[in-house]
Chains A and B, each alone.
Chain A
Amino acid sequence: WFFEVCFAVTESLNTTNSSTKIEPKQMKVLFFEDCVCATITSTILQTLNSKVSWDRFGLSIKDVQVTDTGIALIEWEGPAQLESILLVLHRYRSSQTMLQSWSRETQLCKRCIEDALNDLKQQNPHLFCSHSSKELQRYVPDLSCCLSKLISSSSDIEFKDSCAQILGLQSTDYNDIRSSITTRLLQVIEDLDKQ
């Protein structure tokens, strides 16, 4: 089997109401077999529904349906800035392949979809941050606050200067330290998430 996967997503430019409630949106999935548009197979539907690790990309799948025309509609939830997702899958077979292996097909399809999501994530880490990283980000304000209080309240001038130096700061002001630590922690979480 060979798979080609392409995602086309749109990002909303209006992020002012991003804090309001998240409503499920619909992802259209088009399937092509040997370059011809075809009805999506049950194996691929199953892969989309239960094999792909959507949570690693900050997405949750709520429902999967197939229309009369063979197009799959996936109800999803994710970041508010993510407006729409279109997925196109192309499957074809090498002429030498004699046996069909459904488990192999599932593995390949899953890997290809996740690779395409990863391609999106590398370019747009803010849109495809994993659920676990979002969880970690919640601790950043508290941790930054705690660390900067520890540093700025110290009476050891040498220690304070050394901390400021490590952070690349000129001052040992509480707000400067907190802001620097916050930025650094968020960057580390984003970098690890991309890996």
Chain B
Amino acid sequence: SIKIGKAFSGS
């Protein structure tokens, strides 16, 4: 099974 982890970061 496929698992997804995501994130965003900005200054």
Contact = CB atoms under 8 A, between A and B. Distances in A.
Interface of A: 1-11, 13, 94, 97, 104, 108, 111-113, 115-121, 123-124, 127
Contacts of A108: 9-11
Nearest to B6: A6
Interface of B: 1-11
A3 B9 contact: yes
Residue of B1, B2, B11 contacting most chain A CB atoms (<10 Å): B11
A116 B1 contact: no
A2 B10 contact: yes
Contacts, number: 66
Contacts of B8: 2-5, 112, 115
A159 B3 CA distance: 46
A120 B3 contact: yes
10 contacts: A4-B7, A7-B6, A9-B2, A108-B11, A113-B7, A116-B6, A118-B5, A120-B4, A124-B3, A127-B3
Nearest to B1: A11
A13 B2 CA distance: 11
A9 B5 contact: yes
A51 B8 CA distance: 18
A19 B1 CA distance: 20
Contacts of B10: 1-3, 94, 108
Given A2-B10, A104-B11, A10 B5 contact: no
Contacts of A97: 11
B8 to A, nearest CB: 5
A119 B7 contact: yes
